[in-house]
Amino acid sequence: MESYEAIKNFDEDEDVEMGRQQQQQNQISESRSATVFNNAQTKPNSDNNNNIKIVAPTSSSSSFTSTSKQSQTQTQRLVSLDVFRGLTVALMILVDEAGGLLPALNHSPWNGLTLADFVMPFFLFIVGVSLALAYKKPSSGVVASRKAFLRAFKLLALGLFLQGGYFHRLGDLTFGVDLKQLRWMGVLQRIAIAYLLTAFCEIWLKADDTVNSGSSLVRKYRYQWAVALFLSGLYLCLLYGLYVPDWEYRVPTEPSSEPMIFSVKCGGRGDTGPACNAVGMIDRMILGIRHLYRRPVYARMPECSINSPDYGPLPPDAPAWCQAPFDPEGLLSSVMAIVTCLVGLHYGHIIVHFKDHRVRMLYWMIPSSCLVVCGLTLDLFGMHINKVLYSFSYTCVTAGAAGILFVGTYLMVDVCGYSRMTMVMQWLGKHALMIYILVACNVFPVIIQGFYWGNPHNNILKLIGVGT
């Protein structure tokens, strides 16, 4: 199964804890100087990344102790964010385990949209929402930036370890990593990049405007929107403007034989097919073709598999590009992944600046609906929805769908109070990183199959009647 099944907002508790500590230091300092909060604020609580503290206006004679007691009674948990993340984790597990059996659940071989194709953008959207809560009011931009950089570096290193080749496919118990073929990009690497740039935007690119309406919200974060528009324009210019020349690749055969060489004819611009798109060309030039994903999703297309939409043997007239490596988490496609994260950041800003449930849901539903309509319209006019390329239309549709699902979760859990019905999803959301490592990266199956008696096939699975 492709490694981009998904992941989570990766343990944002540490970030929100940092934001809480920074804001608490500001609060203590203001209390000692007999100043007060003149406007209602929200702040993350150290107990969990989805807590929001509503601090009511106080008089100048109020002490820090009374302020703390009052704020404790007004602490409100945003459970819907955990539930939304848990739903995404459950979807990840579903498509990972059942995608090979039901094509409707598996990732689309190229153009089109299936249930599995929503997982990655949902997680990126959640990252953005949480960053708005974590970096609402950092006391020091330099300190916050350093912590964001270290955090992204940890995610990047973890991604290289888990997805660079150390853990192999089920049934392949070989050990070690060939550094000549180490996969540089992957799910966690993409999340690290999107996380870092979005965090920097939230820390440094905020105006001092007071937010009291939808237009003032846009003005306050206008520089962040400018970054999102710039990244989208850059992606479109490179995708449709770069010239893609002919290229070739090698497929290993027997150890004693020479590898087979395949030549792919291109020589054009604006091609969004599997063979001659600019996304793949940039990855081949910068990352190197040996460091790309070796089981591309387009190998399930009818042109490349007699068992399409599943993997299978090549048809007799298969085109030359069918066995070429292609990374679904490549460099250019990750540019639009950052845009999805920035969209989620905007939804988090609405939580921070608006307290009324109806206002929040209204300001969420308007952009969500517009994004979905825009994406579907672009697909209708030829800019196809494509997960592997992370096309602009795909970004719009999936980000809008994430917003709509988040609104529904927020309405059910935080507004109507049906949180007990979602306890399982809350648990999944709180432990999403651990679940991703154990399930999506095959750590748990490798552990089960990695201990055997005499022969690798004599493992625990055979003992319980599952192995062969």
Per-residue pLDDT of 217-241, as tens digits, reads: 999 999 999 999 999 999 999 999 9
Instruction: Give CA–CA dist 248/127, Å, rounded.
Output: 38
Per-residue pLDDT of 371-394, as tens digits, reads: 999 999 999 999 999 999 999 999
Asked which of 72-76, 151-155, 159-163, 441-445 is least confident by mean pLDDT, the reply is 72-76
Q: What is the CB-side half-sphere exposure of residue 221 using CA atoms within 13 A?
A: 27
**pTM score of the predicted model:** 0.81
**pLDDT computed for residue 75 by the predictor:** 40
Nearest 5°: phi and psi at 77? -95, 130
Number of Cβ within 10 Å of residue 245's Cβ equals 11
Q: Which residues contact 130 (CB under 8 A, 6 or more apart)?
A: 9, 12, 15, 16, 49, 50, 81, 348
Instruction: Give CA–CA dist 428/423, Å, rounded.
Output: 9
**Which of 415 and 8 is assigned the larger pLDDT?**
415
